[in-house]
Amino acid sequence: MIIKKTRTRQISITIVLVMLLAFTQFSQPARAEGDTFCVVSAGADHAMAIKTNGSLWGWGRNDYGQLGNGTTNRDLMYRPLPEKIMDDAVSVSVGGFHTMVIKTDGSLWAFGGNDYGQLGDGTTVDYHSPVKVMEGVVSVSAAHEYTMAVKTDGSLWAWGRNHYGQLGDGTTIDRYYTVKIMDDVVSVSTTDERTMVVKKNGSLWAWGNNESSQLGDGTLDNQYSPVKIMDNAVSVSVGGDFAMAILTDNSLWAWGANGCGELGIGSLTAQPTPVKIMNEVAAASAGGAHAMVIKTDGSLWVWGHNSCGQLGNGAGGDFTDSSVPIKIMEGVLNISASRGASSMAINKDGALYAWGENSYGILGNGKLEHSNVPVVVSAFDISVSIDGQRIAFDVPPQIVNNRALVPLRGVFEALGATVSWDQKTQTVTVVKDDITILLTIGSASPTVNGTTVTIDQPGIIVNGRTLVPVRFITESFGVSVDWDGSSKTVIIRS
Q: What is the per-residue pLDDT for 442?
A: 83
Q: For the residues of 132-191, what is the DSSP string, one character each?
A: EEESSEEEEEE-SSEEEEEETTS-EEEEE--TTSTT-SSS---EEEEEEEESSEEEEEE-
Q: Is the pLDDT of residue 20 over 80?
A: no
Q: What is the per-residue pLDDT for 303?
A: 98
Q: Which residue has the higher pLDDT, 486 or 302?
A: 302
Burial of 376 (0-12, 13-18, 19+ CB in 10 A): middle
Q: What is the per-residue pLDDT for 1?
A: 29
Q: How far apart are CA 471 and CA 461, in angstroms?
A: 18
Mean local confidence (pLDDT), 25-51? 76
Q: What is the per-residue pLDDT for 471?
A: 55
Mean local confidence (pLDDT), 175-193? 96
Backbone angles phi, psi at 18, to 5 degrees: -60, -40
Q: How far apart are CA 341 and CA 358, in angstroms?
A: 9
Mean local confidence (pLDDT), 292-296? 98
Backbone angles phi, psi at 316, to 5 degrees: -100, 10
Q: What is the per-residue pLDDT for 443?
A: 83
Backbone angles phi, psi at 61, to 5 degrees: -65, 145
What's the distance, CA 374 to chain centroid?
A: 12
Mean local confidence (pLDDT), 34-59? 94
Q: How far apart are CA 256 and CA 430, in angstroms?
A: 58
Q: What is the per-residue pLDDT for 469?
A: 67
Domains and their CATH numbers in the chain:
11-27+383-493 (3.30.457.10), 37-376 (2.130.10.30)
List, for residues 334-379, the tens digit of each pLDDT value.
999 999 999 999 999 999 999 999 999 999 988 899 999 999 998 8
Burial of 67 (0-12, 13-18, 19+ CB in 10 A): buried
Q: What is the percentage of the chain residues whose pLDDT exceeds 90?
A: 65
Q: How far apart are CA 4 and CA 1, in angstroms?
A: 10
Confidence of residue 158 (pLDDT cuts 50, 70, 90): very high
Q: What is the per-residue pLDDT for 414?
A: 67
Pick from 351, 241, 344: which is nearest to 292 by CA? 344
Confidence of residue 74 (pLDDT cuts 50, 70, 90): low
Partners of 478 in the beta sheet?
Answer: none
List, for residues 205-219, the tens digit of each pLDDT value.
999 999 999 999 999
Q: What is the per-residue pLDDT for 369?
A: 93
Q: Which residue has the higher pLDDT, 143 or 385?
A: 143
Q: What is the per-residue pLDDT for 411?
A: 67
Burial of 428 (0-12, 13-18, 19+ CB in 10 A): buried
Q: What is the percentage of the chain residues whose pLDDT exceeds 70?
A: 86
Mean local confidence (pLDDT), 383-409? 73
Eight-class DSSP state of 474: B
Under a CB-based contact definition with an 8 Å cutoff, are residues 461 and 473 in contact? no
Torsion sign (Cα): 327, 332, 338, 343: negative
pTM: 0.81
Torsion sign (Cα): 436, 440, 446, 451: negative
